[in-house]
């Protein structure tokens, strides 16, 4: 029963990740249609990430109070409305507004799903199960970037939002059926003492703990460096190698392939490397991927770099996610939402900064900075994990 419930959550994660990455491949097309620079068109990515992150302050407490599975179900259904509004946007400004509204509900899906898994799955089994859950997110990333490119090239940029809106309705209906049939989906629901204000106080209180500050600070920097850069990989492929949106989107599918390689081998990765090895190795593999991508002489030569970025990111990020689910077991919804808030606030800052660089100097400098920063970040978190482990043994 747990596996079925997690599978449906992974479908919600699929839709959420597809929405998050849907506009990456379309940025040159949006820039041309609305007569703006690529950096200006990237505001549709920033707006989505800002609301995605900020609303975590609301969804964490609501999940703790009313039940995390229930909140995932409700916000999946509501997300169909905001996503369909994107398809109807007549101007860039209204599209930015619609993306902001859509991000406000889509942002609940992955963090609350992870928090629910943290509630019902023992810690020693959690990293492998979260890795399997992440398959939905990984495949959703590939779907959002590749299918958006195909649909954009043949039917226009609005088509992907129509497809995603119907996807939200279908997944929301399946989650509703599971919520009614499966009692495990209602476990740990109903802490009536939690309000939004008390939840905000909980989140602020968590920051009093040094280990929490390290985790959320690390994920903020990861979001800024990694997610701020990945948004411009399809742009890089289209501008440097004159690929169309469909071809660029298809090539970015190598990122998902790398993520799947990690997810399928997660048990062996964890057993062989441990958390510290995953963090440091993930940072180094990310660096190798971004450097390879920045200086690839031909389009086909970009594929190994994109693949490495997928493997490295999920090695590092999955390690951070598992630690986030254990930051505050008594307030897991608030803790994971704080984690997500920092991740997507970091992405918002990263996309904004990267857009300025792309308009002025192109995409390669963005990738080089990301490579250096992520290598240092992975090794820095490895060092902190060692300190934390020694402190726990005392």
Question: pLDDT at position 189, please?
Answer: 60
Question: pLDDT at position 1, please?
Answer: 65
- Cα(300)–Cα(213) distance, rounded to whole angstroms? 41
Q: What is the pTM of this model?
A: 0.86
- Cα(201)–Cα(192) distance, rounded to whole angstroms? 16
Question: pLDDT at position 187, please?
Answer: 67
Domains of the chain: 2-393 (1.20.1250.20)
Q: Residues 108-123: pLDDT tens digits?
A: 999 899 888 888 877 7
Question: pLDDT at position 193, please?
Answer: 67
- Cα(387)–Cα(383) distance, rounded to whole angstroms? 7
Residue stretches of the chain with pLDDT short of 50 = none
Question: pLDDT at position 80, please?
Answer: 97
Residue 383 in contact with residue 279, Cβ under 8 Å?
A: no
How many helices (H) and strands (E) the chain has is answered by 19, 0
Q: Residues 296-323: pLDDT tens digits?
A: 999 999 999 999 999 999 999 989 988 8
The b-or-e profile of 309-335 (16+ CB within 10 A means b, else e) is bbbbbbbbbbbbbbbbbebbeebbbbb
- Cα(70)–Cα(64) distance, rounded to whole angstroms? 11
Question: pLDDT at position 284, please?
Answer: 97
373 CB contacts (<8 Å, ≥6 apart)?
Answer: 221, 225
Question: pLDDT at position 389, please?
Answer: 80
H/E stretch holding 355: helix 332-361
Closest alpha carbon to 302 in 250, 377, 228: 250
Residue 65 in contact with residue 196, Cβ under 8 Å?
A: no
Closest alpha carbon to 282 in 236, 349, 219: 219
């Amino acid at each position: 029963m747990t596996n079925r419930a997690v599978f449906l959550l992974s479908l919600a994660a699929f839709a959420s990740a597809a929405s998050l990455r849907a506009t990456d491949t379309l940025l040159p097309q949006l820039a041309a249609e609305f007569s703006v620079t690529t950096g200006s068109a990237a505001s549709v990515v920033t707006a989505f990430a800002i609301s995605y992150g900020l609303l975590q302050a609301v969804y964490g407490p609501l999940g703790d109070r009313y039940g995390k599975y229930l909140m995932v179900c409700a916000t999946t259904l509501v997300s169909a409305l905001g996503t369909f509004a994107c398809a109807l946007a007549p101007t860039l400004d209204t599209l930015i507004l619609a993306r902001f509204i859509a991000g406000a509900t889509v942002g609940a899906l992955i963090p609350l799903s992870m928090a629910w898994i943290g509630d019902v799955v023992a810690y020693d089994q959690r990293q492998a199960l979260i890795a399997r859950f992440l398959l939905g997110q990984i495949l959703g990333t590939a779907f959002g970037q590749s299918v958006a490119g195909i649909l954009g090239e043949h039917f226009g940029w609005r088509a992907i939002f129509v497809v995603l809106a119907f996807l939200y309705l279908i997944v929301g209906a399946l989650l509703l059926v599971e919520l009614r049939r499966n009692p495990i989906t209602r476990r740990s629901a109903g802490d009536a003492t939690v309000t939004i204000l008390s939840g905000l106080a909980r989140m602020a209180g968590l920051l009093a703990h040094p280990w929490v500050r390290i985790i959320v600070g690390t994920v903020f920097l990861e979001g800024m460096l990694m997610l701020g850069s990945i948004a411009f990989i399809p742009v890089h492929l289209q501008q440097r190698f004159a690929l169309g949106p469909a071809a660029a989107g298809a090539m970015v599918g190598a990122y998902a392939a790398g993520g799947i390689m990690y997810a399928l081998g997660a048990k062996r990765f964890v057993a062989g490397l441990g958390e510290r090895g995953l963090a440091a190795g993930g940072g180094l593999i990310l660096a190798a991927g971004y450097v390879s991508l920045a200086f690839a002489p031909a389009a086909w030569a970009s594929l190994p770099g994109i693949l490495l970025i997928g493997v490295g990111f999920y090695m590092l990020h999955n390690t951070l996610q598992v630690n986030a689910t254990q930051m505050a077991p008594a307030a897991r919804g608030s803790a994971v939402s704080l984690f997500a808030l920092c991740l997507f606030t970091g992405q918002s800052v990263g996309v904004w900064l990267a857009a300025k660089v792309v308009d002025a100097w192109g995409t390669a400098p963005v990738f080089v900075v990301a490579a250096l920063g992520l290598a240092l970040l992975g090794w820095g978190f490895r060092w902190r994990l060692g300190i934390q482990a020694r402190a726990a043994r005392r």
